[in-house]
Amino acid sequence: MYRILKKEVLSDVVKLMEIEAPHVARRARAGQFVIVRIDEFGERIPLTIADYDRDRGAITLIFQELGKSTIQLGRLRTGDSIASFAGPLGHPTEIENYGTVACVGGGVGIAPIYPIARALKQAGNRVISVIGARTKELIFWEEKMRAVSDALIICTDDGSHGRKALVTEPLKELLENREMKISRVWAIGPAIMMKFVTLATRPYTVPTTVSLNTIMIDGTGMCGGCRVLLEEGSKFVCVDGPEFDGHKVDWDNLLSRLTFYRDEEKRALDLYNHKCNLDKATVAEDR
């Protein structure tokens, strides 16, 4: 069992948990993920590592409550335990001194972009970070991102914090700045955001890395559910990724498949809520 050392509510649907997992913390690197199972009957939940503390043997996860399992996970408290915690999995981010780089995080994607920005900064890069969300309440880790960035740009869709803009707008300005000379871009967030980031960087031929962990299910390559189409053919996100060259991803295919998973997730959540309501009704009748 793996104990929850800390729980923090970042927004109505976004939770932070620090899990005691020394064997994972010892080997964890930026860009990797873990597979979490709440109990012996629970499904496997792939979550990208948001932070790690090797001395304390702790892994930090940040997740959005979208389906049945993440809602159940979000209901656990400090001191509770989860059944299994496998990792670190996936290929870590390739960290070198590239020069000036841009790290773009959207929504919950701010969490996994943080260790990447930190590692790039430690490698001697000039790091320009752009983070965004729909509204101010969904922005988190602003100070942590500022601490590992030479410059931090914040965007919100409604203008409640930072610039009223999508993250692609300041990114385009950075790319157009010839004195800036952005060498590489990392983008993590909703698939549609990552698609438009790659469209923004393509005219400038700036290498752009995206993380496709949102379509993983099994996490070991056995189910085939995380298959992604690239220019050179199919790859599996869990074993070949989770990071890929964004310019090679068939985004239309990916977005179409994500729609299918969201529909299935909604059906599962509806069934779960229906069962909970039945259980409550049974308890009321017993009383």
CA distance 235 to 196: 21
- Asked whether residue 265 carries a pLDDT value surpassing 60, the answer given is no
Helix (H) or strand (E) holding 170: helix 168-176
Higher-confidence residue of 270 and 98: namely: 98
pLDDT band at 279 (very low <50, low <70, confident <90, very high): low
- Asked whether residue 268 carries a pLDDT value surpassing 60, the answer given is no
Q: What is the dihedral of CA 277, 280, 282, 283, to 10 degrees?
A: 180
- Number of residues in the chain: 287
Helix (H) or strand (E) holding 194: helix 191-201
Strands (E), 38-125: 45-48, 51-53, 58-64, 81-82, 84-89, 100-106
> Environment class of residue 220 by beta-carbon count within 10 Å: exposed (0-12), middle (13-18) or buried (19+)?
middle
The fold of the 2-89 domain, in CATH, is Elongation Factor Tu (Ef-tu); domain 3 (2.40.30)
- Fold: same for 2-89 and 100-255: no
Q: pLDDT tens across 37-63, in order? A: 998 888 888 899 999 999 999 999 999
pLDDT band at 68 (very low <50, low <70, confident <90, very high): confident
Q: pLDDT tens across 145-179, in order? A: 999 999 999 999 999 999 999 999 999 999 999 88
Contact indicator for 73, 38 with CB cutoff of 8 Å: yes
Q: Which of 56-60, 178-182, 238-242, 274-278 has the highest mean pLDDT?
A: 56-60
What pLDDT was estimated at residue 69? 87
CA distance 121 to 248: 26
Contact indicator for 43, 71 with CB cutoff of 8 Å: no
Q: Where are the domains of the chain?
A: 2-89, 100-255
The fold of the 100-255 domain, in CATH, is Rossmann fold (3.40.50)
What pLDDT was estimated at residue 238? 81
Look-up of token digits 């050392």: 5
